[in-house]
Amino acid sequence: MPYPTDRERDRPWVMRTYAGHSSAAASNELYRRNLAKGQTGLSVAFDLPTQTGYDADHPLAKGEVGKVGVPIAHIGDMRRLFDGIPLAEANTSMTINAPAMWLLALYVTVAEEQAREQGRDVDEVLAKLTGTTQNDIIKEYLSRGTYIFPPAPSLRLITDVIAWTVHHVPKWNPINICSYHLQEAGATPTQEVAYALSTAIAVLDAIRDSGQIELADMGKVVGRISFFVNAGVRFVEELCKMRAFTKLWDEITRERYGVENPKARRLRYGVQVNSLGLTEAQPENNVQRIVLEMLAVSLSRDARARAIQLPAWNEALGLPRPWDQQWALRMQQVLAFETDLLEYEDIFAGSHVIESKVDEIAEGAREEIARVQELGGAVAAVESGYMKSQLVSSLAEYRRGVESGERVIVGVNKFETTEPSPLQAEGAKAIETVDAAVEKEAVAALEEWRQQRDNAAVEASLAELREVAKTTENLFEATLKCARAGVTTGEWSQALRDTFGEYRAPTGVSAASMGGEAAELSRVRDRVRAAGQELGERLRILVGKPGLDGHSNGAEQVAVRARDVGFEVVYQGIRLTPDQIAAAAVQEGVHVVGLSVLSGSHLEVVPEVVDRLRAAGAGDIPVIVGGIIPPDDAKVLTDRGVARVFTPKDYELTEIMDEIVTVIRETQGLAQE
């Protein structure tokens, strides 16, 4: 790492860019280019099939392969991803949760192979591996949606990974407790701290009670627990949040787990600043948002992040180009190397304003942690739907503030006049696009892999995995055997699905209420009621999440607002096939289908829903879609029969409801008022 060696400056944080797309080869090229530009760590984005344990040829993977990250199906892909990158010298963050054990096993296997090729001692190389597997399944149930198994076996997988790494890969962070997506799902600073620490308590209790770690070694476990947080644009509040986080983590690990070493109790965290806070409208404003959010987690030395990754200015438009990622990296480098930030002790020490806000957040978080513990802990609070409903309600309150104008978003609900942007000028190709051939190539490569491997060894390793899964034995060694044998991501996951089952988390929608501007809400409610009376039945909307996109916040808020204006809402959660959505629409007799897609698969999955409805004789049910959809793609969708396309610039949910009523009246042949 190119850290300064003098004692007068704090060392810079690890600088990363969250990256990966199309294929292992394309992503490897991107990583090498970024490292050559001075990036000091890798942050691997995996595609949604990989994150949810499917191979590229699974029906649910259609349209999703290589879109939001790199597809990794087997050890061959992992070798290609890190070709020419010595893992013993790398610092790699892998954003993977449900199949974290599997991806880490592939990574470890590649590191072992590199050691043998170089004639080095394998154990010595494993002891040098540094990096992080996110591996936080609880926040997946609450926000991001890339879970596979029920909570209990998921917690077992986490426990087994932690125990194995403490013994074999001691510098690795086996879990990255991730409050990032909690904030995206609506968490206040207090909730973000409370629910992340409640997750940490659940994990540490499980490790302590598993018998796989000696109580005297709990300090080693605590010392390898890391966090991954979100930094929003209210940077003073965010700074205070991190100081409160640091204070409470020290308190919990000392009092609950008896960790005496203050170094082991230090809050070790990385940051991705708030991607969902970036705007499609006037996207150039995102540059200053990103810088302010970076300051929130770097200004306070006593609570400074040890790794930071920044989004690009145009991520609200689509996949950023290499140049955009370079710009984001340069923002970090200017702060770390040109300014005097790292030359001082904590500049907020003794500030009564900061300390007051820190105490306020810490006390609120203590109370909420206690409430979760009273419910039986984080897992029980997930299963009961308590934490999810709290987040949905908080996000509804945030959206109410945006819609009313109380919470200003420059360029969106205030200061909306704008000049044409040279960054998006015609011919500038403002975003990266993934070639449609990527998926076909991945499927073909997967078939070739299955034909050339030793399938007897594959079946034997999967049989052993299933047997071990039925016991309480640690699953990591059996997983390593699968990785070495050439098992695929989908095969490993399916073997555990067969044993553990699959899970659908509570949506939190039924317990939430949004409200809004009373006059406008009342007017639209009257329109919903009138249309229902003319049709002789209550208006019904199906809100669907086709494909593997688990970012359900928008769909949940649409469902809540639709219910508030008088619709009967059918919302079955995430990860549905077009067939399932069409069948539910017909069975429930809905008047409109609303789809939410944020993963870039809209051109594949949305027309398929339209086609399935037509095939079922329900082609008169209009389909609307919302998501990150470029204008050219929106035209393609409307040409394919989609009634309306909404993007993040359409932030007024009540106006969207009003337009949905208009769509229903059009398709039902009702006179427009």
Chain CA centroid to CA 82, Å: 23
Q: Using the structure block, give the residue that is written with the tokens 């609200």.
A: 316
Per the CB < 8 A criterion, the answer to whether 578 and 609 are in contact is: yes
Q: Which two tokens stand for residue 82?
A: 């890190």
Active site residue 67: no
Could you give the angle at the alpha carbon of 552 between the alpha carbons of 548 and 556, nearest 5°?
140
Query: In angstroms, rounded to a whole number, what is the distance separating the alpha carbons of residues 140 and 150?
Result: 11
Active site residue 180: yes
Local structure of 6: helix, strand or coil: coil
Backbone angles phi, psi at 307, to 5 degrees: -155, 135
Query: In angstroms, rounded to a whole number, what is the distance separating the alpha carbons of residues 131 and 87?
Result: 10
Among 47, 55, 549, 564, the active-site one is 549
What's the chain's length in residues? Answer: 673
Query: In angstroms, rounded to a whole number, what is the distance separating the alpha carbons of residues 219 and 321?
Result: 42
Q: Using the structure block, give the residue that is written with the tokens 């292992």.
A: 24
Query: In angstroms, rounded to a whole number, what is the distance separating the alpha carbons of residues 660 and 457?
Result: 55
Query: In angstroms, rounded to a whole number, what is the distance separating the alpha carbons of residues 457 and 474?
Result: 21
Long-range contacts of 649-653 (CB under 8 A, 24+ apart): 649/279, 649/280, 649/281, 649/412, 650/626, 651/399, 651/402, 651/403, 651/412, 651/413, 652/403, 653/399, 653/403, 653/514, 653/516, 653/557, 653/558, 653/561
Per the CB < 8 A criterion, the answer to whether 538 and 562 are in contact is: no
Among 58, 139, 181, 388, the active-site one is 181
Mark out the alpha helices in 470-600 (DSSP H runs).
476-485, 489-500, 518-535, 553-564, 578-588
Could you give the angle at the alpha carbon of 186 between the alpha carbons of 415 and 135, nearest 5°?
125
End-to-end CA distance of the chain: 66
Residues 6+ apart with CB under 8 A from 467: none
Among 54, 107, 147, 180, the active-site one is 180
Which of 596, 651, 653 minimizes the C-alpha distance to 628? 596
Could you give the angle at the alpha carbon of 316 between the alpha carbons of 313 and 320, nearest 5°?
55
Neighbour-count burial of 283, counting CB atoms closer than 10 A to its CB (0-12 exposed, 13-18 middle, 19+ buried) = buried
Strand boundaries in 171-310, DSSP class E: 172-173, 175-178, 225-231, 269-273, 307-309
Q: Are strands 42-45 and 307-309 parallel, antiparallel or unpaired?
A: unpaired
Local structure of 1: helix, strand or coil: coil
Among 18, 54, 141, 257, the active-site one is 18
Active site residue 545: yes
Per the CB < 8 A criterion, the answer to whether 19 and 46 are in contact is: no
Query: In angstroms, rounded to a whole number, what is the distance separating the alpha carbons of residues 467 and 437?
Result: 38
Among 62, 67, 74, 545, the active-site one is 545
Active site residue 18: yes
> Alpha-carbon dihedral of residues 559, 562, 567, 572, nearest 10 degrees?
-10
Which of 267, 266, 265, 290 minimizes the C-alpha distance to 277? 290
Active site residue 181: yes
How many helices (H) and strands (E) the chain has is answered by 26, 15
Q: What are the residue numbers of the active site?
A: 18, 180-181, 545, 549, 551
